[in-house]
Structure 1
């Protein structure tokens, strides 16, 4: 086997462990996530998790980084075709209606935020995630408005995961109030 193939295999195993860690976190929470549980769920020896990740915090940071990237990429893709603030508002409504209905992802987000409260290095990851969303929104809205819209989106995601959220008309109205046509 060539050195390149070995590296791909190692990268693939590391990626697998990150994906499985997200599954374990979604099912058991951060408090119930261990190297042993992740290794068992991945069907790999326990030493694999400690080989690729210095400690559990390292694995959690990698998993939460993956989550932030996946959600950000989906949000950016949803906004990409928009050319006007009105089209951006429509894309945001679609994102909230179609891209955020996953209970697993909601649970992961709650775990990420709660973990970040006590871990400053992870808090900076959350801030970067929010920043990435705001940059995507700033294509259409002034920075202060982009931040308010992002805050609304995060709040709606939290709200919808725990209770029935606003309907499409209420979301559209809120976006219009935050970013009126000029």
Structure 2
């Protein structure tokens, strides 16, 4: 007897696909990410990807947008907890020196996102929106010029820390002095 096979509705399937896409990107890189690898990791039929997304590019764009939102929320919550400028400076130092800003896996994904954004307008937009949210998080405590400089410090110093893992990361006193100097000079 013929007919179509009915599959129960899975309201989280799209989210699982995006999470799986980030896992595959983190392990293989964007250049080696495929529909099949994502479907296998998400434990969904290959057709589910084309049901929920208009192709691999749409999956990558939405996965990177999700990554940016998730990281922005954490960045913002850390700064929102600061009650004054001194605590905000300490929060920035924590973002740079502590494990709070990004895990090694998230850094790999960030580098993939930045690279992909060079060639994809939607990913570039997600990166710009993330930068704006980060600066807005800083704006509760610092003027715009300081926000730009401090956000660049968080990004740049964190990247250096990622690649210098064997060296134990940046000296906290040095980072604190630099953050305070920027806040004092531009604040």
TM-score, structure 2 normalization: 0.88
Which ranges in structure 1 are unaligned for 5 or more consecutive residues? Answer: none
- Choose the corresponding residue for 1:175, options 160, 163, 179: 179
Matches within 5 A, 1:10-49: 10=11, 12-49=12-49
TM-superposed CA distance for 1:95, in Å, is: 2.4
TM-superposed CA distance for 1:160, in Å, is: 1.3
Larger relative helix fraction: 1
SS of 2:106 mapped into structure 1: helix
Equivalent position of 1:92 in the other structure: 92
Is 1:54 the counterpart of 2:58? The answer is: no
Which ranges in structure 2 are unaligned for 5 or more consecutive residues? Answer: 1-7
Equivalent position of 2:4 in the other structure: none
Is 1:105 the counterpart of 2:106? The answer is: yes
Question: RMSD across aligned C-alpha pairs, in angstroms?
Answer: 1.6
C-alpha contact (below 8 Å) 2:75/2:101 kept by paired residues: no
Q: Once structures 1 and 2 are overlaid, which stretch shifts more, 61-70 or 157-166?
A: 157-166
Is 1:150 the counterpart of 2:154? The answer is: no
Q: Distance in 1 between matches of 2:109 and 2:90?
A: 26
TM-superposed CA distance for 1:77, in Å, is: 1.0
Q: Distance in 1 between matches of 2:14 and 2:103?
A: 25
Q: Distance in 2 between matches of 1:145 and 1:95?
A: 16
Equivalent position of 1:68 in the other structure: 68
Q: Distance in 1 between matches of 2:173 and 2:65?
A: 33
Q: Distance in 1 between matches of 2:122 and 2:44?
A: 28
TM-score, structure 1 normalization: 0.91
TM-superposed CA distance for 1:89, in Å, is: 0.9
